[in-house]
Amino acid sequence: MKKTIVLLILTVFVLNACKSKSKVAEIPKIEIVEPTSVDKAKKDKAYALGKRVLMTCNTSKFKPFSKSEATESVIQNTTLERLTSTCRKYRIKYGDFKDIKLAQVIHNVNEDSYVFRYKAEYQRTFVTKELRVTINNENKVSAIKSTDWTDEYK
């Protein structure tokens, strides 16, 4: 009888120890919205800050983001040294930066943030580059990413 009780307790203990402790990550609910339906101030801010980053490639001068413009992580990651390194590669491969054109706006409903997808225009046009500027619910830039353009948002 004692062996059965001990065996039962050990079995319960082992089963409890094997349960997964991880939580399922919440899948962000995103929707593509018309650029005309987005607040003009958000659009203007995304354009101005995105263009400011890419213009660094032409001028080698960058005015750092302020705390009212960007989150702390973006401020720390967007330094003149990092931009210069990236710009050097881009100038060799794509030539001078010209402008960005708004192509798509994605609304992350869970976080109430907007991702502005711009097509970046460079001197050489053999590939289309994308600049993503994310504006959070505090109207600050929370992410900036440059990549090759794809029609489908990932």
113-153: per-residue pLDDT in tens?
999 999 999 999 888 999 999 999 999 999 999 999 998 88
Give the position of tokens 């609304």.
Answer: 107
Say if residue 100's pLDDT is above 70: yes
Condensed to tens digits (0 to 9), the pLDDT of residues 46-66 reads 999 999 999 999 988 899 999
Positive or negative torsion for Cα 20, 21, 22, 26: positive
pTM, two decimals, is 0.80
- Tell me the CATH architecture of domain 28-148: Roll (3.10)
Domain boundaries, the chain: 28-148
Amino acid type, 129: K
Please state, rounded to an integer, the average pLDDT across all residues of the chain.
86
